[in-house]
């Protein structure tokens, strides 16, 4: 008992120990209370932050709603007003042209009036005139009528041009082209019948004629040996404009030219239309006739069994060829093609083509995947991928008509009214022979090929080695088979090749050779004037835009000197640039053939229209960050510019465009990472137009409000045709 009491006494705490224990317990209680209070404070702050964010979102939503209720109707009203005014101006211009045409007293018919044009065509067919100069002058008149009619078809809106009238105009075009073909044939026939021996046919007594070089025209042909002793004439004709491709079955489905509307349209409306484009005139250069060998022409039949060929000129004693402007022929084709039309096959595979044009030039990668239409056979020219450039060449041989003889001062000639007759090549007997395995591609033992050497046309730009293509009359298409031994001298721009038959041929270049673009900038030059600069794959293109547009001149003369500096409508400029090889206007299926930056079409469409509205005072340029954004987002740089001078780099700002709102970003183009952080002291806007106007100075606002309607239409049409927002891609 005593031992237990002694143990309890030994465990009793002292007062100091009890005090320390109480202090420790109090400290722990205070710490726990402090932690609890801190947690409550953090939770209150979190809830307050959420409340503020919710209020901010509600404020932004309310502000967005209020802005949209005010801004979007105003934007629609502006666009609709511009569209109405531009339509009214263009209609007035068309009526004025029609009145001026009515008041003309130059003796030429109005091609839009059936009675007048039909009378003109019939009288021209029955014209007994045998003077070549008069015939060719009549051809020039027909060219003017064709250009006039094609312009009417191109510039008249569909609602003003009923389908029946459109078909009538197209039929008139075909009839005029056929008439031109007849004039060409008639002039050729006269030349061959009325030559002066030793003048036109200077080499008529050379027994083994192998070919001839036309030095002044940088053109040379090589005659197959079987024709070296034949009584034939070689006709070589170059038309500056391509009137053959439109007869292709695939042309309407895959045509490459544009007829974008000349007016502003309602927002959200798709603007892109493919149309058939035809050139504005053509230069015909007659090359020569030779009594001894030259080549066969390929005949064509259209609408009438009449041969449709084109003219070639005589050779003068000084070996110079006199240039003659001839006419377009509606039909000129090669019937010597033996191949049948290849069947098209379905293709859904990915096709990747990389071509190097020059060691100095970058490689451009073309991508085509998931193609939903029939793949075109390799030897058939696909208008989605290639564009004929530099016009059309007619290379054919004709049978000589009875030649005159001079006896005692009398000129005696046998009269035959058979017209021109083509000389078949290869001969019919040789067509049945099949080539041996040892023979080169495209050559047969009994029918050696015809050779041609030419300098690239001077009115077209070629950024890579062009491919020759021949016209297949049977299949109504351009083909690359039957052409071989192709060589090209880049420095001299000389192309040589051989063809199995005498044929119509042209030169083709990749449609997307200059795409995708590297960068672009749209900068005001003055009030109602802007310059669009596009750095394409191989060249820089500058387009100046006012109420009309022009391709800006360059210090050094190039192949487009006939286009540069000339004011024309936006649609005419687009057509002219495509036909000249300076193509920066993607087709509707461009994503199948070239790498693009896919974006929502409605967003890009709205952006082009709104950029045009402020382009008189605001400069825009591409941003590399646009590749990193979502398809519904567009990122571009913008800056106010009223002086037309160079803009400092620090003045550019980045803007994010979304379907629901637009705003300025805090980041710069030189930032290392993409950030969606909004710039300080900026608001949200419902569209690009109101954002630019809201951030602009008073002077810029005044200029924007005074924008000319025709200037706006020109800028909008060019932007929509170039598709800059989707076809500007960084190529590594």
pLDDT in tens, 189-245: 888 877 654 444 444 444 456 778 888 888 999 988 888 778 888 888 888 877 788
Same domain, 451 and 527: no
Distance of alpha carbon 513 from alpha carbon 382, whole angstroms: 14
Look at residues 582, 545, 551 and name the one whose alpha carbon lies nearest to residue 565: 551
What distance, in Å, lies between the first and last C-alpha atoms of the chain?
98
Average pLDDT of the chain is 78
Banded model confidence at residue 254, pLDDT cuts 50, 70, 90: low
Q: 296 near 422, Cβ under 8 Å?
A: yes
Same domain, 644 and 713: yes
Using the 3D structure, point to which of 491, 510, 529 is the last residue of a domain. 510
Q: What are 444-487's pLDDT values in tens digits?
A: 456 899 999 999 999 999 999 999 999 998 888 999 999 999 99
Distance of alpha carbon 72 from alpha carbon 77, whole angstroms: 8
Same domain, 469 and 545: no
Q: How far is CA 188 from CA 130, 211, 419, 451, 556, in A?
A: 11, 20, 9, 23, 39
Banded model confidence at residue 647, pLDDT cuts 50, 70, 90: very high
Same domain, 536 and 492: no
Q: Give residue 11's pLDDT.
A: 60
Mean pLDDT for the stretch of residues 290-317:
36
Same domain, 489 and 528: no
In a domain, 585, yes or no: yes
Q: Give residue 468's pLDDT.
A: 97
Q: Kindly state the helix (H) or strand (E) to which residue 720 belongs, with its residue range.
A: helix 709-722
In a domain, 412, yes or no: no
Q: How many domains does the chain have?
A: 2
Q: Is residue 349 over pLDDT 60?
A: no
Q: 264 near 609, Cβ under 8 Å?
A: yes
Distance of alpha carbon 547 from alpha carbon 713, whole angstroms: 8
The boundaries of the domain holding residue 164 are 114-243+278-342+377-404+419-429+445-510
Q: Is residue 32 over pLDDT 80?
A: yes
Banded model confidence at residue 338, pLDDT cuts 50, 70, 90: very low
Q: 538 near 514, Cβ under 8 Å?
A: yes
In a domain, 565, yes or no: yes
587 or 533, higher pLDDT = 533
Distance of alpha carbon 364 from alpha carbon 354, whole angstroms: 6
Same domain, 399 and 333: yes
Distance of alpha carbon 583 from alpha carbon 585, whole angstroms: 6
In a domain, 282, yes or no: yes
Using the 3D structure, point to which of 510, 540, 556 is the last residue of a domain. 510
Same domain, 489 and 564: no
Same domain, 505 and 524: no
Same domain, 524 and 392: no
Highest mean pLDDT among 128-132, 177-181, 631-635: 631-635
Q: 511 near 385, Cβ under 8 Å?
A: yes
Same domain, 152 and 298: yes
Same domain, 460 and 572: no
Using the 3D structure, point to which of 492, 510, 528 is the last residue of a domain. 510
In a domain, 231, yes or no: yes
Report the share of the chain in percent with pLDDT over 90: 43
Look at residues 727, 577, 713 and name the one whose alpha carbon lies nearest to residue 257: 577
In a domain, 97, yes or no: no
Phi, psi of 132 (to 5 degrees): -60, -40
Burial class (CB in 10 A: 0-12, 13-18, 19+), 21: exposed
In a domain, 65, yes or no: no
Same domain, 118 and 182: yes
In a domain, 302, yes or no: yes
């Amino acid at each position: 008992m005593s031992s237990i009491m002694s143990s309890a006494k030994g465990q009793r705490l002292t007062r100091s120990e009890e005090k320390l224990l109480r202090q420790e317990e109090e400290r722990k209680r205070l710490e726990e209370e402090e932690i609890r209070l801190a947690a409550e404070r953090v939770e209150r702050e979190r809830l307050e932050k959420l409340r503020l964010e919710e209020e901010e979102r509600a404020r932004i939503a309310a502000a967005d709603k209020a802005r949209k209720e005010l801004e979007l109707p105003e934007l629609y009203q502006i666009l609709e007003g511009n569209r109405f005014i531009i339509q009214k101006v263009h209609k007035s211009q068309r009526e004025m042209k029609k009145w001026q045409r009515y008041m003309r007293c130059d003796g030429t018919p109005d091609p839009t009036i059936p009675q007048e044009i039909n009378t003109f065509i019939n009288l021209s067919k029955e014209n007994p005139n045998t003077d070549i100069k008069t015939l060719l002058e009549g051809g020039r008149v027909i060219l003017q009528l064709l250009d006039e009619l094609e312009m009417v078809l191109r510039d008249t809106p569909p609602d003003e041009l009923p389908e029946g009238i459109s078909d009538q105009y197209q039929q008139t075009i075909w009839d005029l082209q056929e008439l031109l073909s007849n004039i060409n044939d008639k002039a050729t026939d006269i030349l061959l019948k009325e030559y002066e021996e030793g003048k036109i046919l200077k080499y008529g007594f050379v027994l083994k004629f192998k070919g001839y070089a036309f030095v002044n025209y940088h053109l040379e042909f090589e005659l197959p040996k079987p024709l070296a002793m034949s009584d034939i004439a070689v006709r070589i004709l170059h038309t500056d404009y391509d009137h053959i491709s439109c007869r292709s079955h695939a042309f309407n489905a895959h045509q490459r030219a544009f007829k974008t509307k000349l007016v502003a349209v309602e927002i959200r409306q798709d603007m892109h239309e493919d149309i058939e484009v035809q050139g504005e005139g053509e230069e015909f250069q007659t090359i020569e006739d030779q009594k001894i060998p030259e080549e066969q022409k390929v005949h064509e039949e259209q609408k009438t069994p009449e041969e449709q060929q084109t003219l070639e000129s005589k050779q003068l004693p000084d070996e110079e060829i006199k240039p003659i402007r001839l006419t377009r022929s509606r039909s000129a084709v090669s019937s010597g093609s033996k191949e049948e039309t290849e069947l098209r096959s379905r293709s859904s595979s990915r096709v990747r083509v990389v071509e190097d044009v020059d060691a100095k030039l970058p490689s451009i990668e073309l991508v085509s995947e998931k193609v939903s239409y029939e793949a075109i056979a390799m030897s058939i020219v696909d208008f989605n991928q290639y564009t004929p450039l530099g016009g059309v060449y007619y290379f054919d041989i004709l049978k000589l008509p009875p030649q005159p003889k001079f006896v005692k001062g009398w000129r005696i000639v046998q009269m035959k009214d058979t017209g021109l007759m083509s000389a078949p090549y290869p001969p019919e007997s040789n067509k049945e022979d099949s080539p041996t395995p040892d023979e080169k591609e495209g050559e047969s033992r009994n029918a050696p090929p015809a050779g041609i050497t030419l300098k690239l046309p001077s009115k077209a730009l070629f950024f890579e080695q062009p491919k020759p293509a021949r016209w297949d009359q049977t299949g109504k298409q351009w083909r690359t088979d039957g052409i071989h031994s192709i060589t090209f001298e880049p420095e001299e721009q000389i192309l040589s090749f051989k063809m199995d038959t005498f044929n119509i041929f042209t030169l083709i270049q990749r449609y997307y050779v200059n795409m995708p673009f590297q960068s672009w900038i749209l900068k005001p030059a003055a009030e109602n004037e802007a310059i669009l600069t596009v750095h394409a794959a191989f060249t820089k293109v500058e387009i100046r835009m006012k109420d009309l547009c022009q391709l800006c001149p360059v210090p050094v003369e190039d192949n487009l000197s006939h286009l540069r500096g000339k004011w024309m409508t936006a649609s005419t400029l687009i057509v002219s640039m495509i036909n000249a090889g300076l193509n920066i206007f993607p087709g509707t299926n461009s994503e199948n053939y070239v790498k693009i930056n896919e974006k929502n079409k409605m967003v890009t469409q709205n952006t082009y229209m709104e950029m045009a509205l402020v382009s008189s005072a605001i400069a825009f340029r591409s941003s590399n960050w646009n590749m990193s954004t979502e398809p519904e987002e567009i990122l571009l740089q913008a800056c106010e510019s009223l002086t037309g001078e160079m803009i400092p780099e620090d003045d550019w700002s980045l803007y994010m465009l979304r379907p629901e709102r637009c705003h300025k970003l805090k980041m710069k183009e030189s930032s290392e990472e993409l950030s969606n952080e909004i710039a300080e002291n900026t608001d949200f806007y419902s569209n690009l137009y109101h954002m630019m106007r809201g951030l602009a100075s008073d002077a810029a606002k005044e200029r924007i409000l005074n924008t000319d309607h025709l200037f706006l239409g020109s800028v909008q049409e060019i932007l929509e045709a170039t598709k800059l927002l989707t076809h500007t891609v960084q190529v590594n």
